[in-house]
């Protein structure tokens, strides 16, 4: 995979991070995991010195890295100091990403009165999080998961799962839902279709994050 088309962000609870990027047109897959530490093999229960992050795979013809950086800044408070697990951080894959991050941070800082605490760090090893964290909001609806028929490993980085997970957290619109179901050639049962419409109409809800 071309690392130019991958972005890694830490912005508090990774269940919500996966939703915030999963809804963006041009994002073709997301997963959640751990990075940023120096000790091997972190797990959710033993995170060691790592933090919760989302990995975003995108099509640069449809969405740019700069646009993803805008989503990052606008979808959490980068001035908020919290424990390391939930720290605000951007991991760069190459010098071009590093430059774009630095520029966007400076532009962002000009609009804020509090200092930005976001760390800019080189990307190193990524540890995929446990299955039950992947597409957390989609997983709450087992009948939907069953209907789309993806295995645990297919849910990771699946474009369909990224979008459905975001809709299940109340993001997006019913128009986007129907356009994308068509694009994916996916026919949902009336029950599941109504369920997603209802969740979208109820509005964003990352409640447990
Ligand atoms: N408030 C949630 C956060 C989970 S997150 C994946 C919990 O404590 O379960 O860190």
Q: What is the pLDDT of residue 138?
A: 97
Strand intervals (E) in 46-205: 51-58, 89-92, 119-122, 127-128
Structural domain contains residue 143: yes
Residue 193 structural domain: 135-202
- pLDDT tens readout for residues 88-126: 999 999 999 999 999 999 999 999 999 999 999 999 999
Judgement on whether residues 27 and 85 belong to the same structural domain of the protein = yes
Structural domain contains residue 191: yes
Judgement on whether residues 119 and 139 belong to the same structural domain of the protein = no
- At 180, the pLDDT band (50, 70, 90 cuts) reads very high
| Final residue in a domain of this structure, among 128, 162, 194 | 128
- What is the DSSP track for 74-105? HTS-TT----GGG--EEEESSHHHHHHHHHHH
For 12, phi then psi, to 5°, come to 65, -145
Structural domain contains residue 209: no
Structural domain contains residue 81: yes
Judgement on whether residues 114 and 27 belong to the same structural domain of the protein = yes
Nearest CA to ligand 1 atom 10: 13
For 49, phi then psi, to 5°, come to -100, 25
- At 4, the pLDDT band (50, 70, 90 cuts) reads confident
Q: For a ligand 1 pocket test, name from 33, 84, 169, 208 the mutation site with the most ligand atoms within 8 angstroms of its C-beta.
A: 208
Cα Rg, the chain, nearest whole Å = 17
Q: For a ligand 1 pocket test, name from 12, 15, 206 the mutation site with the most ligand atoms within 8 angstroms of its C-beta.
A: 15
Q: Give SS3 for 208.
A: coil
- pLDDT tens readout for residues 24-78: 999 999 999 999 999 999 999 999 999 999 999 999 999 999 999 999 999 999 9
Q: Which residues are catalytic?
A: 13
- pLDDT tens readout for residues 141-177: 999 999 999 999 999 989 999 999 999 999 999 999 9
Judgement on whether residues 67 and 10 belong to the same structural domain of the protein = yes
Distance (angstroms) between ligand 1 centre and the Cα of 13 equals 6
CATH number at residue 123: 3.30.1060.10
Residue 74: count of CB within 10 angstroms of its CB: 10
Into how many domains does the chain fold? 2
Contact 101, 123 (CB under 8 A): no
Judgement on whether residues 34 and 65 belong to the same structural domain of the protein = yes
Judgement on whether residues 91 and 13 belong to the same structural domain of the protein = yes
Q: Higher pLDDT residue, 2 or 188?
A: 188
Judgement on whether residues 102 and 121 belong to the same structural domain of the protein = yes
pLDDT higher than 60, residue 1: no
Task: Identify the helix (H) or strand (E) that includes residue 32.
Answer: strand 27-35
Judgement on whether residues 95 and 32 belong to the same structural domain of the protein = yes
- The interface predicted TM-score of the complex, written ipTM, equals 0.95
Q: What is the pLDDT of residue 99?
A: 98
Mean pLDDT of 173-190: 96
Binding site membership of 13 for ligand 1 (Cβ less than 6 Å): yes
Contact 205, 169 (CB under 8 A): yes
| Final residue in a domain of this structure, among 103, 128, 153 | 128
Judgement on whether residues 147 and 104 belong to the same structural domain of the protein = no
Nearest CA to ligand 1 atom 4: 209
């Amino acid at each position: 995979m071309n690392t130019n088309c991958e972005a890694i962000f830490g912005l508090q609870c990774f269940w919500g991070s996966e939703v915030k990027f999963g809804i963006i047109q041009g994002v073709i897959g997301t997963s959640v995991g751990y990075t940023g530490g120096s000790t091997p093999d972190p797990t959710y229960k033993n995170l060691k010195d790592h933090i919760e992050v989302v990995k975003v795979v995108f099509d640069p013809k449809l969405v740019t890295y700069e646009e993803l950086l805008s989503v990052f800044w606008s979808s959490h408070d980068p001035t908020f100091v919290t424990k390391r697990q939930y720290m605000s951080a951007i991991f760069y894959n190459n010098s071009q990403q590093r430059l774009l991050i630095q520029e966007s941070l400076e532009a962002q800082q000009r609009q804020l009165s509090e200092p930005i605490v976001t760390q800019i760090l080189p990307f190193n090893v990524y540890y995929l999080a446990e299955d039950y964290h992947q597409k957390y909001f989609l997983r709450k609806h087992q009948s939907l998961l069953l209907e789309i028929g993806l295995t645990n490993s297919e849910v990771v980085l699946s474009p369909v799962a990224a979008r459905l997970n975001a809709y299940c957290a109340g993001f997006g619109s019913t128009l986007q839902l129907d356009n994308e179901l068509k694009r994916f050639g996916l026919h949902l049962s009336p029950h599941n279709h109504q369920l997603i419409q209802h969740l979208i109409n109820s509005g964003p809800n990352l409640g447990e994050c």
